Structure 1
């Protein structure tokens, strides 16, 4: 096997992996699309099975823009959910929660009464 044969095999493997990846993304998009009816999904799947390359090209031409828009909406929704989660976790605790926490520490003996009074005064001041 020569060096050029090796490079040709690498090219073919790359093309096969790329084609499989494109088909997987198209199938995922077909089944995630809520605007497409069941018959429409079935039609696209049949087209992709019977004529895979032609079906993939037709799908990307016909529905490529909506495919991108759905992906962008999913990404924005995930980013918004992440931001909401971070805000909820990073929010400053309420004075009541701080006093309850200090009360538990006092009851467990981890802090003294004077330390509890200092924590309570600090919580009420904020």
Structure 2
């Protein structure tokens, strides 16, 4: 370790980090090339060849030329994922037919809790009403 000073270790780690970051960006660019709807097949093949044959320059060119569209596609995909997740949560939290027959509604429990918080219901009344809803 004496032949490899701390500053050299720092520079090695820095270059290793930059290399890993570039690899991440390369995979992101390749994925964006394939998911892009506004590029035709030959344009996708051309960008892919440029990104793989001239790796550093190709990735840099792609980010400069198509970076704004790449960001928009990322935002749209994130919004679609968020909407799908929210839709799933709503469907999973919605009472099904058997729960509706029993009266176990999330909205009813929420209203009861609000009434208790405002002081319109005592804790005993709240517990009795809650028990009736859940049975």
The TM-score range, normalised by the shorter chain, is: 0.7 to 0.9
- TM-score, normalised with respect to structure 2: 0.68
Cα separation, partners in 2 of 1:96 and 1:53, compared to 1, 3 Å: closer
- TM-score, normalised with respect to structure 1: 0.72
Match of 1:80 among 72, 83, 90: 83
Structure 2 distance, partners of 1:56, 1:96, is 55
| Structure-1 residue corresponding to 2:74 | 71
Count, aligned residues: 101
| Structure-2 residue corresponding to 1:107 | none
Q: After superposition, give the CA deviation of every residue in 1:17-48 in whole Å (9 maximum; x if it has no partner).
A: 11111101100110111221110110001111
The runs of 5 or more residues in structure 2 that have no matched partner are 103-131
1:78 deviates by: 0.7
Structure 1 distance, partners of 2:63, 2:98, is 56
| Structure-1 residue corresponding to 2:61 | 58
Cα separation, partners in 2 of 1:95 and 1:7, compared to 1, 3 Å: closer
The runs of 5 or more residues in structure 1 that have no matched partner are 100-121
| Structure-1 residue corresponding to 2:41 | 38
1:92 deviates by: 2.3
Match of 2:15 among 12, 19, 30: 12
3-state SS of 1:35 partner: coil
Cα separation, partners in 2 of 1:48 and 1:97, compared to 1, 3 Å: same
Structure 2 distance, partners of 1:96, 1:6, is 63
